[in-house]
Amino acid sequence: MDVDKEYFSNITTRERAIFEGAISMGALFHQFVGTPVNKDTKGSLEKAMEDSLNLQPAIEKVEVEIRFDKLEESMTEFDYTSLTGDMLDVKIHTKVDEVVAVIRIEFIEELNYPLMYVESIED
């Protein structure tokens, strides 16, 4: 069975590259928000997020940064906090055929919101 022809024939390669990154970003957000984290586990959590998303088809590269400033603001007396959307700065690079899309989440101060958006597309 040709999965591309069977299930993706109704969208363009460009749309598919965006879809793959966007669905992965949504999964990352909803899977990891709420995870306990502190300054000592920040790096391993970033790596776990990158490694898990890199397993998915069409994902070329994942860059995860948990913003240390937001992490520090949220620390509790128990020396940890729960990961929140405003701590995430993530780029997911997808490639379908020759189309590369970069989907990003970052906290936008003016919006006071962790915004997911298409950062770039290269055809």
Binding residue per annotation — 1? no
pTM for the full predicted model:
0.93
Cβ contact 105:29 at 8 Å: yes
pLDDT band at 4 (very low <50, low <70, confident <90, very high): confident
- Average pLDDT of the chain is 95
Tokens 């780029």 sit at which residue?
A: 91
| pLDDT per position as a tens digit, 20-32 | 999 999 999 999 9
* 28-48 pLDDT tens trace: 999 999 999 999 999 999 999
Residue 20 assigned as binding residue: yes
Question: What pLDDT does residue 24 have?
Answer: 96
What is the number of structural domains in the chain?
Answer: 1
Is residue 50 pLDDT above 90, yes or no?
yes
Give the range of the structural domain holding residue 28, as residue numbers without chain letter: 3-122
Task: Give yes or no for a contact between 91 and 69, defined as CB atoms under 8 angstroms apart.
Answer: no
The per-residue pLDDT for 2 is 75
pLDDT at 3 over 90: no
CATH number of the domain encompassing residue 64: 3.30.1300.20
pLDDT level of residue 6 (50, 70, 90 thresholds)? confident
